[in-house]
Amino acid sequence: MSRDLLVLPTLAGDRITLRAWRTTDVAIVQEASGDQLITALTTVPQTPGEPEALAFIERQHERLRSREGYVFAIADAEDRAIGHIGLFPAGDRWARASIGYWIGPSQRRRGYAADALTTLTAWAVQLDSLDRVELYVEPWNEGSWRAAERAGYLREGLLRAWERVDGSPRDMYMYAQLTNRIQRPDP
Ligand SMILES: CC(C)(COP(=O)(O)OP(=O)(O)OC[C@H]1O[C@@H](n2cnc3c(N)ncnc32)[C@H](O)[C@@H]1OP(=O)(O)O)[C@@H](O)C(=O)NCCC(=O)NCCS
């Protein structure tokens, strides 16, 4: 990949679209600010103020400029943002990448996370430089690992004390999918 800023595509899923964040998307960021897990895992502000939500949206554009990762708003059939998903390189190379995501509390259990993950993964696996796409999911987070499995990811194992969340080390399942450039199917 070149060193230019990342250019975000718009990706159509079954019932969602992945597109750039807009300033008109503040409501879902304000809603997500009330979810303790989302604020622990992401830079979603812990307060529902509009300036803080707008700053979050601006940070997503900055992540493209700084090549930190491809970050999308997940939009429903009415083009309202209902969540967030992003693809991030492991370290500063794009041989491996991981995906993180959240859905606003009022929009859950409608298949949106699975749809968004399937859509982003289908795009990511054809990127030239990538060998594998990874997800890290806490074992208790059944909604997340079920979405991963629905999107075709395989659970490869348990990473003990892999990441600190809210200051405490957490075990994570490692889910992964190999990309098209790896010319062999998952075992
Ligand atoms: C995890 C999360 C993204 C799931 O989003 P969602 O849109 O509700 O998920 P979906 O509707 O696509 O559901 C996917 C599957 O998980 C199941 N599921 C969803 N929430 C669940 C829950 N709380 N408990 C058990 N199963 C659940 C669904 O029934 C569906 O199962 P199926 O494939 O067998 O039909 C959402 O709860 C969230 O944003 N949580 C907070 C942030 C987070 O955990 N992010 C992921 C970090 S790894």
Q: How far is CA 1 from CA 93, 105, 129, 131, in A?
A: 9, 35, 7, 13
Atom of ligand 1 nearest to the CA of 117: 12
Distance from the alpha carbon of residue 5 to the mean position of ligand 1, in angstroms: 32
Least Cα distance to 159 among 180, 174, 143 occurs for 174
Q: Give pLDDT tens digits along the chain (187 positions).
A: 556 788 999 999 999 999 999 999 999 999 999 999 999 999 999 999 999 999 999 999 999 999 999 999 999 999 999 999 999 999 778 999 999 999 999 999 999 999 999 999 999 999 989 999 999 999 999 999 999 999 999 999 999 999 999 999 999 999 999 999 886 555 5
Burial string for 78-94 (b: 16+ CB within 10 Å, else e) reads: eeebbbbbbbbbeeeeb
Domain ranges across the chain:
11-178
For residue 134, what are the contacts with CB-CB under 8 A and spacing of at least 6? 90, 96, 97, 98, 99, 174, 175, 176
Nearest residue by C-alpha to atom 17 in ligand 1: 143
The owner of tokens 């992540």 is 63
Which residues face 174 on adjacent strands? 136, 157
Residue pair 95/110 in contact by the 8 Å Cβ criterion: no
Q: What is the pTM of this model?
A: 0.96
- Give residue 145's region: left, alpha or beta (phi > 0; psi -120 to 50): alpha
Residues flanking ligand 1, CB < 6 Å: 35, 37-38, 101-103, 108-114, 137, 141-144, 146-147, 150
| Cα 106–chain centre separation | 18
Least Cα distance to 143 among 102, 87, 82, 185 occurs for 102
Q: Which CATH number fits domain 11-178: 3.30.360.10, 3.40.640.10, 3.40.630.30, 3.30.750.210?
A: 3.40.630.30
Give the SS3 label for residue 33.
coil
Distance from the alpha carbon of residue 34 to the mean position of ligand 1, in angstroms: 17
Rg from Cα positions in the chain: 16
18 DSSP 8-state letter? E
pLDDT, position 183: 64
pLDDT, position 187: 55
pLDDT, position 93: 84
For residue 117, the tally of other CB atoms under 10 A from its CB is: 26
Distance from the alpha carbon of residue 118 to the mean position of ligand 1, in angstroms: 13
Distance from the alpha carbon of residue 102 to the mean position of ligand 1, in angstroms: 9
